[in-house]
Amino acid sequence: MPDRIMTCSAALAEALHEEMTRDETIFILGEDLTAHAGVFGQFKGIPENFPGRIIDTPISEAGIVGV
């Protein structure tokens, strides 16, 4: 297979899709994953393909900094 050139976001999106298809127990928690497809668009199409397995968490900078 020839080498492919792709962005990190595209590679992550492809890997997430492959693994979530393979293993139905995988789910993802994070901020703006369904509303904005992640910061770099790496979750584009994934919430639609895996409903209920991509969960947006509340945005809480104070909580993130505290952790």
pTM of structure: 0.72
pLDDT confidence bin for 18, thresholds 50/70/90: very high
From CA 42, how far away is CA 48, in angstroms rounded?
A: 13
Buried b (16+ CB within 10 A) or exposed e, 23-55: eeeeebeeeebbeebbeeebbeebbeebeeebe
- Count the Cβ atoms, other than its own, within 10 Å of residue 21: 11
| Residue 1 confidence (pLDDT) | 58
From CA 46, how far away is CA 54, in angstroms rounded?
A: 8
Residue 57 DSSP symbol: P
| Residue 23 confidence (pLDDT) | 96
Read off the pLDDT of residues 19-31 as tens digits, 9 standing for 90 and up: 999 999 999 888 8
Q: What is the mean pLDDT of residues 37-51?
A: 84
